[in-house]
A and B are shown apart, each in its own frame.
Chain A
Amino acid sequence: MFLQHLINALSVGAVYALLAIGYNMVYGVLEKLNFAHGDVYAVGCFVTFSLLGGMNPILAILIGCCVGFILNVGVERFAYRPLRNSGRVAPTISAVGIAYIMRNVIQLIWGAETFSFDLGIFKAGSIDVGGVVIGTLQIYLFIIAVALMVIISLALKYTKWGQGIICISQNIETAALMGIPVNRVIAIVYGLGAALGVIGGLLFCQYYQFIFMGIGFAYGTMKAWMASIWGGIGSLKGAIVGAMVLGLAETMVSAYISSTYRDAFVWAIFIAFIIIRPQGMFPAQGAEKI
């Protein structure tokens, strides 16, 4: 039974990892709370959802990613960039405003109902390994999460853009002096973050087989944020490990302690953790005031 719980925890963790990778990338660059992340990518997910009816699912996913990319670049340009140097309260509040706008847009276009959701790519099935049932979807999710992490880490390390992103995350002024087009790179990071978020959000919906307007905030922003801080801000490995720990905590609490108070216990564990180790498990290199 414990092994089964462990497998479930890891697959929930894999879903959260997909959400956290995009969030952590954006969070790591500017270290600004991005409350709108979830709600922006939720719009992309809904676009894919309505295209799924008569289109190749892969194409629909790509279009959803593009919508998320464009949307977040626009949001960055008009709501975050003017506030980049005005303290921490102002950008946070404007991000909350964007989140509200996006959620309301979804509600107006698609309505507030919960829809059933199926991408139609993954064949349902499961493998039985010595009494432990592993869904094939769970394996796919895990592989996709690790593959995305590896691809992004390699891109950050070996491409010029990636080095630019790392440079900006260390110091914006110095990066500008080195001839890095700061504004363009940051806009692209936000766009990519949202595009990754769309992929993560779609796989999340595929895993739970539903989609509704609240997926952005409660499941997207909050879980991704928790996973990012748990793992370490600005580190992709941290995002995945943090997401796994989050999944583990949720599954184990509901299995062994109490399923009604699951969220309360997870938050309590989480608060205790960030008080003991606020920099997360695998912090990115560089100093940060805590």
Chain B
Amino acid sequence: MKKLDKKFIIFIVFMVAVLLVPFVVTNSYMLRVLCNVMIYSIIALSINLIVGYSGQLDFGRAAFVGLGSYCSAILFTTLHVPFILSFLAGGLFSALFGALLGMLCRYSSFDYLTLITIGFSEICRKVFQNWYAVTNGSFGFRTSRPEFFGFVLDTPASMYYFCLLILVICYIAIKRITKSKYGRAYMALRDDSIAASYAGIDVKKFKLNCFVIASFFTGIAGALMAHFTTFISPTVYTTDESLLELQMAILGGLGSLPGSILGAGILTIVPEVSRAAYEYRLLIMGVMMVILMLFAPKGLLGRGGVWDKVVSLIRKKGGKNENK
């Protein structure tokens, strides 16, 4: 009980600190970076659901970000649909394609699934780039900031709170999903899909709905990104971008939701800080990926990852001291 209280207090302090950030940090560049962190956190969380919880390696998440972005931006700017509707439509549109991809992937295992996701993202990228009538092709698509009943979120601080709100909602929703029947089924089919099917879990159905749910959140993040940057360029949604997003989830720790946020934070802030080393960006990323996989394949906060090891090391040492 005491431990739970402690956790709760830390959580409250953390939330208050996060809420106070716009009052302390008035630099709009810093706030923009923090907004980016939150948007990528949502993407990393949705990837965690697919890769971390149900064990499917998806290399095409950027396509779903793109689908959400374009759908929401086109509905809002071209067709003048109210913001909330177009925002949710971005997520639903993405989820629709998630269902399509999930249907295709139901019957295929690891390598084929990876290849299908890459292929799907390439197809989407080509369409974004060449369908001039709707997406304005390679010139990019311009949209505007979110607007509620006459209020426009055009200051950095208001955008910060909006991103934070969406992130918290998504986090809680994904947390609930992972604790529910669905989350346990995903973990079962990740660990051993044959055993899961013997335990009465409909593997194909759960694979499909995992894709749908995760794609919804990715689409929401995409819509948020579109209205945050107010400009969509089809050159963003490449396989490299998908790999970066995947890496956020892996760095944080597959199967750990706070880890995804931490991973997104690190991989968004470090490149911003080290702009001088831009030429070495891929090298640093590559070395990090290899070292991480060799020595800590569970990531920073995953079960049995770096954090757990550090904690158990400290506990061991503390125990020894007590014995002495």
List A residues at the B interface (Cβ < 8 Å): 31, 33, 78-79, 82-83, 86, 88-94, 96-105, 107-108, 222, 225-226, 229, 260-261, 263-264, 267-268, 270-271, 274-275, 278, 289-290
Please give, as numbers and ranges, the residues of chain B lying within 8 Å of A225 by CB-CB distance. 115
Partner of B57, one of A78, A92, A107, A108: A92
Q: B-side binding surface: helix, strand, loop or mixed? A: helix
A104 and B243 within 8 A (CB)? no
CA of A92 to CA of B287 in the docked complex: distance in angstroms?
A: 14
Please give, as numbers and ranges, the residues of chain A lying within 8 Å of B271 by CB-CB distance. none
B122 and A103 within 8 A (CB)? no
Residue of B nearest to A33 (CB): B111
Measured between C-beta atoms, what is the minimum distance from B292 to chain A in Å?
A: 8
Please give, as numbers and ranges, the residues of chain A lying within 8 Å of B120 by CB-CB distance. 267, 271
B116 and A104 within 8 A (CB)? no
**Can you pick out 6 interface pairs between chain A and chain B where the beta carbons lie within 8 Å of each other?**
A88-B110, A93-B246, A98-B286, A264-B126, A268-B119, A290-B112
User: In the complex, which of the residues B115, B116, B120, B290 has the most CB atoms of chain A within 10 Å of its own CB atom?
Assistant: B290
B286 and A97 within 8 A (CB)? yes
CA of A240 to CA of B104 in the docked complex: distance in angstroms?
A: 27
Please give, as numbers and ranges, the residues of chain A lying within 8 Å of B279 by CB-CB distance. 104, 107-108
Other A-B pairs beyond A104-B281, A271-B116, A274-B115, 9, CB < 8 Å: A33-B111, A89-B57, A90-B297, A92-B57, A96-B243, A97-B290, A104-B283, A271-B104, A275-B108
B289 and A94 within 8 A (CB)? yes
Residue of B nearest to A258 (CB): B130
B283 and A101 within 8 A (CB)? yes
Please give, as numbers and ranges, the residues of chain B lying within 8 Å of A98 by CB-CB distance. 286, 290
Q: Quick check: is B280 within 8 A (CB to CB) of the other chain? A: yes
B123 and A268 within 8 A (CB)? yes
Q: Quick check: is B288 within 8 A (CB to CB) of the other chain? A: yes
Q: Quick check: is B107 within 8 A (CB to CB) of the other chain? A: yes
A289 and B112 within 8 A (CB)? no
User: In the complex, which of the residues B109, B279, B281, B283 has the most CB atoms of chain A within 10 Å of its own CB atom?
Assistant: B283
Measured between C-beta atoms, what is the minimum distance from A37 to chain B in Å?
A: 14
Q: Quick check: is B114 within 8 A (CB to CB) of the other chain? A: yes
B112 and A274 within 8 A (CB)? yes
B119 and A94 within 8 A (CB)? no
CA of A100 to CA of B280 in the docked complex: distance in angstroms?
A: 10
Please give, as numbers and ranges, the residues of chain A lying within 8 Å of B293 by CB-CB distance. 79, 83, 90-91, 93-94, 97
Please give, as numbers and ranges, the residues of chain A lying within 8 Å of B247 by CB-CB distance. 93
Indicate with 1 or 0, residue by residue over B270-291, a CB within 8 angstroms of chain A CB atoms.
0000000001111101111110
Please give, as numbers and ranges, the residues of chain A lying within 8 Å of B108 by CB-CB distance. 274-275, 278, 290
Partner of B283, one of A105, A226, A267: A105
Q: Quick check: is B261 within 8 A (CB to CB) of the other chain? A: no
A229 and B112 within 8 A (CB)? yes
Q: Closest 4 CB pairs between A and B?
A: A97-B289, A100-B286, A101-B286, A104-B283
A100 touching B285 in the complex, CB below 8 Å, given contacts A274-B112, A290-B108: yes
Residue of A nearest to B287 (CB): A101
Q: Quick check: is B92 within 8 A (CB to CB) of the other chain? A: no
B127 and A289 within 8 A (CB)? no
User: In the complex, which of the residues A92, A93, A94, A290 has the most CB atoms of chain B within 10 Å of its own CB atom?
Assistant: A93
Residue of B nearest to A94 (CB): B293
Please give, as numbers and ranges, the residues of chain B lying within 8 Å of A92 by CB-CB distance. 57, 114
Partner of A267, one of B57, B119, B281: B119
A263 and B289 within 8 A (CB)? no
CA of A148 to CA of B96 in the docked complex: distance in angstroms?
A: 46
Please give, as numbers and ranges, the residues of chain A lying within 8 Å of B225 by CB-CB distance. none
Partner of A263, one of B126, B250, B297: B126
CA of A86 to CA of B296 in the docked complex: distance in angstroms?
A: 12
Please give, as numbers and ranges, the residues of chain B lying within 8 Å of A88 by CB-CB distance. 57, 110
B254 and A89 within 8 A (CB)? yes
A267 and B123 within 8 A (CB)? yes
Please give, as numbers and ranges, the residues of chain B lying within 8 Å of A268 by CB-CB distance. 119, 123
User: In the complex, which of the residues A103, A108, A229, A274 has the most CB atoms of chain B within 10 Å of its own CB atom?
Assistant: A274
CA of A238 to CA of B292 in the docked complex: distance in angstroms?
A: 35
Please give, as numbers and ranges, the residues of chain A lying within 8 Å of B243 by CB-CB distance. 96
A86 touching B297 in the complex, CB below 8 Å, given contacts A270-B119, A274-B115: yes
Please give, as numbers and ranges, the residues of chain B lying within 8 Å of A83 by CB-CB distance. 293-294, 297
A100 and B294 within 8 A (CB)? no
Measured between C-beta atoms, what is the minimum distance from B296 to chain A in Å?
A: 10
Please give, as numbers and ranges, the residues of chain B lying within 8 Å of A33 by CB-CB distance. 111, 114
B122 and A97 within 8 A (CB)? no
Indicate with 1 or 0, residue by residue over B52-63, a CB within 8 angstroms of chain A CB atoms.
000101000000
Please give, as numbers and ranges, the residues of chain B lying within 8 Å of A274 by CB-CB distance. 108, 112, 115-116
